[in-house]
Amino acid sequence: MVRPSPRVAAPAASRAASSASAAPTEAARAFPVAAAPSAALQLSAEIRTSGCDLTASDVGRSVVLAGWVQAKRVWSAKADSDAARPAFVVLRDEFGTVQLVVDASGGPSAREAASAVAELPLESCVRVEGVVRARPEGQAKSAAASGAVEVLVSAVSVLNAPPPSSGPAPLPVATAVAEDEGATGATGPGEDVRMRHRSLDLRRPRMQRNLRVRAATIHAMRRQLAERHGFLEVETPALFLSTPEGAREFIVPTRESGRFYALVQSPQQHKQMLMAGGVTRYFQVARCFRDEGGRADRQPEFTQLDMEMGFAGGADIRRVAEGVLDAALAAFNDTAAALARLPPPLRSVARRGGAGSPLPVFTYADCMHSFGSDRPLRRLGVARPEPEDKDRVASEAGASSVTAGGELPLRDVSAILAASAVEEGQGGAAGAALLHAARTCAAQAAREADGSVPAAPPGSLEALRPSRAEASAAVGAEEGDLVVIAAGLGDTPCRTLGAVRLEGAAALKEAEAPAPGAGAGTSAARGGGGAAAGRRGGGKQPTRRAVAAAAEDDGDAAAAPLPPRELDVFWVTAFPLFESAEEGEYQPGGGGAVLTPAHHPFTAPVPAHLEVLETARREGWDPRTDAAARDRLACVEAQSYDVVCDGAELGGGSVRMHRHQDQEAVFAALQLPEERIASFGHLLDALRWGAPPHAGIALGLDRFVAMLTESPSLRDVLAFPKTTGGQDLLSGAPGPVDHARLTEYRVRPLAKDE
């Protein structure tokens, strides 16, 4: 019969442990606190004396464990001999798993324990008492941390069990764990199921591991800033005034008619006012909110490590940030080693150049010219040769074109270009050019397939074939290479080619991957490769992180320890201060603007270009009607910088404008209306009264931890994430609010057609 857990006296050893000092033990100091084994922690002796991470050194110990039933094997009593056979249970807690043996022949208490186990549903929360013993010879499992031991159970108490009417768990944790451990044929639950039943999903060792890595990494960053550099952690408000800072805000109504808060997009304005207030070394693990629904790599609320230094320049804050990153990587490696008991194991990391060495610095212009991206994946190499006579090649190629030869099918080229358009963003000029080229290739492939190849219109692939030899010679291409030629205004051609470069690398890696059971293969095309069949079938398009992972050496998953990963971390500097506002793009200052901040409107230009802003304000330039004015403003360079790791932006910052007249000049160049400039009155006032020069940076913690843990999604490193569309499947938010509450806040929902 299943019985509830009684209050029992803790063993004497446990009572002594609980009365000891709460200071960390020597064992705890050997690990990051978030990754410490149970033996190093002060567990609640009232419930348990140990975690499930038992080892051979625990053999002979009497223990009290508590956790969840992950799996069990109980014999049905078809014969007397079956009734005497022991039952086996896998017990899981946050420290690991251990096998329990319940032998009914061990006396009345053992028989009662066996009876309790037989009735327990999976994922029941139980407390067990027993003795640790070595597993029989030949039954030890080296893959599990506790695989050398098992616990002979003398008593079982049920702390909480699902009622019989509940049926099987909506999320089969055991199957998810098997998938994490790489079991053949194990397929875990889909992401929607995981998010809807997050409390069950969080029990997975992978999720426990990721959250512990996150905690240890953030703790190390905090210590580096506070203890080594003397930064002060200051909490800033989440409810703020709506200001045109950059992204779309979440608006919060109040009970005062016509008055609204906005959730902060970042602590940017508050930290600049802290600088003016004399708090010249600030940091915060900040929650930020941006209404950017529909982006797979974003969450509506996210966490960043925000820091700012007064009486400092960009080089000063970058040096501090480099030390913070090195401290975080060291903490990750320590945590990964300590958490080897939680599958799957993590690979240690080391940044190229080594800890303590300055990060390489590249300019925005160099990155765009060489890689077609401001966050390049450098390990792929420079895949864009420069023709000697690029003007002639561009004039013959047209606005956007693709040529292909050798063994690369046109349908594969079309798939690569279409995926590149998704990567670049279909709303921009580069994405449109890529989609046009993809459709051209697809149409040409269809004509070739049915045997009819009519004359193609000018600008298509067919019309370009006479110049293919000259174009190939100009860039040094050989038979079998994929050549993409793009021309256009601004950095559109560079971005176009950069997106193709990433997608081509991913397709080549997939084409080279051997089929299950096959040996390593080689690609038929030297330069471009073929798109994988799954890609052409409309599967998920690879992200930059997926390309970065594909570019890594595969390694032997069964090897121990796993080979370390080398991270390519570097700075990108000298961004433009402004960029063109794309049609249909959200404009925080109102519609009609042709320029928008490349970073945010508080970034300072390089001193040599400050005069351009002053002249524009003095003479009343209008970039909406004056092309020359627009071009001159577009050339203004910012004192901004991003830190990039293997094709992903980890963070960004800038030197800020500390003089109010400079800030007002930027607002004027952006054509902000007077009422929108007035919303920054608090900041302009702080700058007016002697704000010091200051610079700062923010590091995206969600993305950083996802990169360290090699997680495919940000949702794997968040306890309670939201979907791409900003929905919380766990609670059903956002949800309706009753009419009385809406009336109290003077809010009236509009119909969809209003």
CA separation for the pair 448, 442 (Å, rounded): 10
Residue 100: its H or E element: strand 96-102
Tens digit of each residue's pLDDT (9 = 90 or more) over 712-722: 999 999 999 99
Contact predicate 280/310, CB 8 Å? yes
- Compare 19 and 431 and report the one with higher pLDDT: 431
For the segment 338-342, the average pLDDT, to the nearest whole number, is 86
Dist CA 72 CA 75 (whole Å): 10
pLDDT grade, residue 602 (50/70/90)? very high
Q: Identify the residue with better confidence: 341 or 156.
A: 156
For residues 225 and 307, is the Cβ–Cβ distance under 8 A?
yes
Pairing of the two strands 260-263 and 239-240: antiparallel
Q: Distances in Å between the alpha carbon of 49 and those of 43, 66, 142, 506? A: 6, 9, 25, 50
For residue 659, pLDDT over 60 is answered with yes
- Cα–Cα dist 339/31, whole Å: 10
HSE at residue 452, side-chain half, CA atoms within 13 A, is 4
Report yes or no: 246 and 684 within 8 Å, Cβ to Cβ.
no
On whether the CB atoms of residues 642 and 574 are closer than 8 A, the answer is no
Q: Which residue has the higher pLDDT, 460 or 420?
A: 420
The token duo for 184 is 């053949």
Tell me the average pLDDT across 374-392.
64
Cβ–Cβ under 8 Å, residues 58 and 72: no
pLDDT bin (cut points 50, 70, 90) of residue 550 is very low
Q: Give the closest residue to 727 by CA, choosing from 128, 80, 195, 67.
A: 195
> Which whole number is the average pLDDT over 201-210?
94
Average pLDDT of span 684-688: 97
User: Measured between alpha carbons, how far apart are the two ends of the chain, in Å?
Assistant: 62
> What amino acid is encoded at 379 in this protein?
R
Is the separation of the CB atoms in 670 and 595 below 8 Å? yes
The predicted structure's pLDDT at residue 398: 32
175 Rama sector, left if φ>0, alpha if ψ -120 to 50, beta otherwise: alpha
How much is the average pLDDT of 553-571?
67
**Cα–Cα dist 148/150, whole Å:** 7
- Tell me: cis bond preceding 734? Omega within 30 of 0 counts: yes
Higher pLDDT, 266 or 428: 266
Please write the tens of the pLDDT for every residue from 119-172: 899 999 999 999 999 999 888 887 677 889 999 999 999 999 998 888 888 999
Q: Given this model, what pLDDT does residue 1 score?
A: 41
What is this structure's pTM?
Answer: 0.81
Query: Is the distance from CB of 411 to CB of 445 less than 8 angstroms?
Result: yes
Contact 68, 136 (CB under 8 A): no
Distance between CA 429 and CA 488 in Å, rounded?
9
**76 confidence band (pLDDT: 50, 70, 90):** low
Q: Class of the 207-363+568-723 domain?
A: alpha beta
CA–CA separation, 610 vs 492, rounded Å? 26
**Spans of all domains in the chain:** 47-160, 207-363+568-723, 413-449+465-510
DSSP helix/strand/coil, 28: helix
What is the SS3 string spanning 36-77?
CCHHHCCCCCCCCCCCCCCCHHHCCCEEEEEEEEEEEECCCC
Mean pLDDT for 681-705 is: 97
393 pLDDT more than 60: no
Nearest-angstrom CA–CA distance, 188 and 168: 15
Q: What's the pLDDT score for residue 35?
A: 81
Backbone angles phi, psi at 67, to 5 degrees: 175, -155
Q: pLDDT higher for 754 or 606? A: 606
Phi, psi of 459 (to 5 degrees): 90, -10
- pLDDT averaged over every residue in the chain: 79
The 10s digit of each residue's pLDDT in 415-430 is 666 666 665 554 455 5
47-160 classified as CATH 2.40.50.140: yes
562, two tokens: 């796993």
Compute how many other C-beta atoms are within 10 angstroms of the C-beta atom of residue 481.
18
What distances in angstroms separate CA 714 from CA 118, 310, 324, one per listed residue?
A: 39, 32, 21
Residues 6+ apart with CB under 8 A from 247: 265, 290, 291, 292, 586, 588
Closest Cα to residue 641, out of 359, 281, 357, 314? 314
